[in-house]
């Protein structure tokens, strides 16, 4: 009479074999692969090489995703596919496995990244899976790879993994970067990255840097182009609009849209700025998030300590020659910040400017930028000026404009284009009332409000990076959550190891102007509009008063 354990094992095999057939039908219906992965296929596609013996270890059963040579005999969950396997399968189970799971012999596996491939012991893995074991003893040979593999990987994903392996082999980035994550979820993306590296390589060679290999160019592309983009994406939380995708997916997607955007705008723009604009055009919620108070500061907290805050400056230019004073002031900032200047001239309708007039404007702009030794480009837009400025502000870090018509008083304040621009702009606005300032002495108006805290952030940057003198004006009754506004500012400066002159005066709309004159400040920094519009109409606001009465540039933050 046959061993009872063997008879039970036969029944278990027949049940497992039937489930394998059912899984095959389900896989065809859903389109999701039920195949074990072939180690040979993986090794070829990912160019696996180099191995090390890790000895006997306990490994997770669910991480076993493939086989060496027998990947067609079992499903992805190691259910037996071949009816002819029943005797072998039943003998293994009856001989080596009891109810408690004891006696299952050690298997042999290759480990590739986070997954395992069975060299010897396929039937034992099949039995362990059917019995619900979570772990199994295995002699592990680890195969070296720079490509991440996880237990949920599907065969069609290997196309992308193979492209990743080719990209790393050609660029050598895995050898030069300690931590590298360039995962992509869509086929074809790595070729686009390689194209960018090749463009970078050509640019470096054109600049006369000889002996530059493709690997050197790849390192330069990764360090100077990709990493700043990735850091900006993380800081600004952009990936929340792309669930299930990676930062490199977003970079590839952005690259496809960036050329179109640059042609449309007439400017050269940074990758992260292009991504912001494209996201906002496709998602209203993203636009709303970008214009919240503090969003600009939060996205640039790291830049505050490691890079320039104002790398791209928007300068609206009108028909009035005085409007070009804003360009001169912007150039003085660009020289300190190593920034690009983006000029913008708007006309109400098509044909208002002749081709000759456009050429004259472009030539004048380029000459002024060249004289200041800064990079710049002038774009001509058709439409309402305030709206066009607001649309392009997201591409830049600062708006610098000449104030020709400051907000009036009373009910007329509602119709002010300057007020609308300041209230809605997603970037700080620097208003230029008259002559160009040296920007050597900053007076910060600080009342502890969220918008004045944005101004404190920028004023502190000026004091640290530009070495400007900093004076801070507060009122005795200005409060924040945990004390006075002045204490808040002192603590912030102490954290940044800076000092400032503190001035305390009772508030009135004239106080700021008089104080600036008394201390010979040449730049005022303050928060944007706050409170109700009715108050602006009846009582007036400090911003409107300063725009009308002061001859100093005013940086307004929100």
Last residue in a domain, options 290, 322, 339: 290
pLDDT confidence of residue 301: 55
Last residue in a domain, options 240, 257, 290: 290
CATH number for the domain harbouring residue 342: 3.40.50.12370
In 3-state terms, what secondary structure has residue 313?
Answer: strand
DSSP state of 436: P
Parallel, antiparallel, or unpaired: how do β-strands 340-347 and 37-38 relate? Answer: unpaired
CA proximity to 32, closest of 76, 71, 62? 76
pLDDT confidence of residue 321: 82
Q: Which of 163-167, 272-276, 294-298, 470-474 has the highest mean pLDDT?
A: 470-474
Go through 285-294 and write b for each residue having 16 or more CB atoms within 10 A of its CB, e for each that does not: ebbebbbebe
Q: Give dist(CA 73, CA 88) in Å, integer.
A: 12
Q: How far is CA 41 from the centre of its chain?
A: 35
The answer as to whether 36 is a domain residue is yes
Confidence class for position 101, pLDDT limits 50, 70, 90: very low
pLDDT confidence of residue 291: 54
CA proximity to 455, closest of 428, 479, 482? 428
Q: Answer yes or no: do 283 and 317 share one domain.
A: no
Low-confidence winner among 267-281, 380-394, 434-448, 465-479 (lowest mean pLDDT): 267-281
The answer as to whether 152 is a domain residue is no
Confidence class for position 445, pLDDT limits 50, 70, 90: very high
Does 32 have pLDDT greater than 60?
Answer: yes
The answer as to whether 298 is a domain residue is no
Q: Which of 275-279, 414-418, 554-558 has the highest mean pLDDT?
A: 554-558
Does 536 have pLDDT greater than 60?
Answer: no
Does 179 have pLDDT greater than 90?
Answer: no
pLDDT confidence of residue 16: 82
pLDDT confidence of residue 460: 94
Q: How many domains does the chain have?
A: 3
Across the chain, what does the average pLDDT equal? 83
Q: Report the pLDDT averaged over residues 217-236.
A: 85
The answer as to whether 397 is a domain residue is yes
The angle subtended at Cα 320 by Cα 316 and Cα 323, nearest 5°, is: 40
Does 183 have pLDDT greater than 80?
Answer: yes
Does 278 have pLDDT greater than 70?
Answer: no
Q: Answer yes or no: do 285 and 343 share one domain.
A: no
Q: Answer yes or no: do 192 and 76 share one domain.
A: no
Last residue in a domain, options 93, 109, 143: 143
The answer as to whether 78 is a domain residue is yes
The answer as to whether 486 is a domain residue is yes
Phi-psi region of 186 (alpha: psi -120 to 50; beta: other; left: phi over 0): beta
CA proximity to 336, closest of 207, 523, 547, 546? 523
Does 287 have pLDDT greater than 80?
Answer: no
Q: Answer yes or no: do 312 and 459 share one domain.
A: yes
pLDDT confidence of residue 2: 61
Contact 531, 548 (CB under 8 A): no
Tokens at 535, concatenated: 């108050």
Q: What percent of the chain has pLDDT over 70?
A: 87
Does 140 have pLDDT greater than 70?
Answer: yes
pLDDT in tens, 472-531: 999 887 766 667 888 889 999 998 889 999 999 887 778 899 999 999 999 999 998 875
Q: Report the pLDDT averaged over residues 435-443.
A: 92
Q: Answer yes or no: do 357 and 450 share one domain.
A: yes
Q: What percent of the chain has pLDDT over 90?
A: 30
CB proximity list for 456: less than 8 A, separation 6 or greater:
444, 446, 489, 492
Place of tokens 């899976």: 129
Low-confidence winner among 34-43, 65-74, 143-152, 229-238 (lowest mean pLDDT): 229-238
The answer as to whether 231 is a domain residue is yes
Q: Answer yes or no: do 318 and 379 share one domain.
A: yes
Higher pLDDT, 30 or 243: 243
Reduced 3-state DSSP string for 229-298: HHHHHHHHCHHHHCCCCCHHHHHHHHHHHHHHHHHHHCCCCCHHHHHHHHHHHHCHHHHHHHCCCCHHHH
Is the pTM of the predicted complex or chain greater than 0.85? no
Q: Answer yes or no: do 415 and 510 share one domain.
A: yes
Higher pLDDT, 302 or 161: 161
Q: Answer yes or no: do 456 and 326 share one domain.
A: yes
pLDDT confidence of residue 55: 93
Q: Answer yes or no: do 318 and 177 share one domain.
A: no
Q: Answer yes or no: do 40 and 174 share one domain.
A: no
Structural domain boundaries, residue 115: 4-143
The answer as to whether 149 is a domain residue is no
CA proximity to 433, closest of 405, 462, 471, 399? 405
Q: Answer yes or no: do 395 and 453 share one domain.
A: yes
pLDDT confidence of residue 286: 44
Confidence class for position 210, pLDDT limits 50, 70, 90: low
pLDDT in tens, 15-26: 888 888 887 788
Confidence class for position 534, pLDDT limits 50, 70, 90: very low
Does 229 have pLDDT greater than 60?
Answer: yes
Q: Answer yes or no: do 23 and 63 share one domain.
A: yes
Higher pLDDT, 89 or 407: 89
């Amino acid at each position: 009479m046959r061993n009872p354990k063997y008879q039970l094992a036969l029944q278990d095999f027949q049940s497992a074999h039937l489930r394998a057939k059912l899984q095959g039908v389900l896989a065809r219906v859903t389109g999701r692969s039920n195949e074990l992965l072939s180690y040979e296929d993986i090794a070829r596609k990912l160019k696996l090489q180099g191995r090390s013996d890790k000895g006997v270890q306990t490994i997770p059963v669910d991480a076993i995703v493939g086989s060496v040579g027998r990947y067609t005999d079992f499903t992805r969950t190691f259910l037996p596919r071949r009816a002819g396997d029943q005797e072998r399968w039943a003998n293994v189970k009856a001989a080596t496995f009891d109810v408690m799971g004891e006696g299952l012999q050690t298997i042999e596996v290759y480990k590739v990244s986070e997954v395992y491939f069975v060299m010897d012991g396929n039937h034992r893995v099949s039995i362990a899976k059917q019995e619900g074991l979570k772990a199994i003893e295995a002699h592990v040979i680890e195969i070296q790879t720079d490509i991440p593999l996880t237990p949920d990987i599907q065969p069609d994903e290997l196309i992308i993994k193979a492209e990743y392996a080719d990209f790393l082999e050609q660029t050598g980035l895995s050898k030069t970067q300690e931590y590298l994550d360039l995962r992509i979820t869509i086929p074809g993306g790595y070729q686009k990255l390689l194209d960018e590296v090749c463009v970078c390589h050509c640019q470096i060679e054109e600049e006369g840097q000889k002996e530059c290999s493709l690997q050197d160019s790849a390192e330069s592309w990764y360090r100077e182009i990709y990493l700043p983009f990735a850091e900006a994406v993380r800081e600004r939380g952009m990936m929340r609009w792309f669930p299930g995708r990676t930062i490199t997916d977003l970079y590839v997607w952005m690259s496809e849209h960036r050329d179109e955007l640059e042609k449309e705008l007439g400017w050269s723009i940074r990758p992260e700025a292009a991504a912001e604009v494209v996201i906002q055009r496709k998602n209203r919620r993203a636009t709303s998030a970008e214009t919240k108070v503090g969003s600009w500061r939060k996205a640039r907290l790291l830049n505050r300590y490691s890079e320039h805050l104002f790398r791209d400056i928007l300068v609206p230019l009108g028909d009035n020659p005085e409007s070009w004073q804003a360009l001169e002031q912007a150039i003085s900032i660009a020289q300190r910040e190593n920034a690009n200047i983006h000029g913008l001239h708007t006309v109400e309708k098509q044909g208002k400017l002749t081709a000759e007039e456009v050429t004259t404007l472009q030539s004048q702009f380029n000459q002024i930028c060249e004289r200041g030794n800064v990079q710049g480009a002038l774009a001509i837009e058709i439409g309402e000026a305030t709206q066009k400025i607001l649309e392009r502000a997201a591409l830049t870090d600062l708006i610098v404009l000449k104030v020709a018509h400051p907000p009036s008083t009373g009910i007329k304040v509602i119709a002010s284009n300057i007020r609308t621009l300041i209230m809605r702009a997603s970037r700080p606005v620097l208003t230029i009332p008259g002559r160009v300032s040296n920007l050597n002495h900053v007076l910060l108006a600080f009342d502890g409000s969220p918008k004045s805290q944005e101004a404190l952030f920028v004023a502190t940057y000026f004091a640290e990076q530009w070495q400007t003198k900093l004076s801070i004006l507060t009122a005795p009754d200005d409060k924040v959550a945990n004390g006075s506004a002045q204490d808040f500012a002192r603590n912030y400066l102490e954290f940044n190891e800076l000092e400032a002159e503190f001035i305390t005066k009772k508030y009135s709309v004239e106080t700021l102007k008089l104080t600036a004159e008394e201390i010979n400040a040449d730049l005022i920094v303050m928060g944007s509009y706050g409170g109700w519009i009715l108050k602006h109409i009846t009582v007036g606001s400090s911003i409107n008063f300063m725009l009308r009465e002061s001859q100093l540039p005013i940086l307004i933050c929100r």
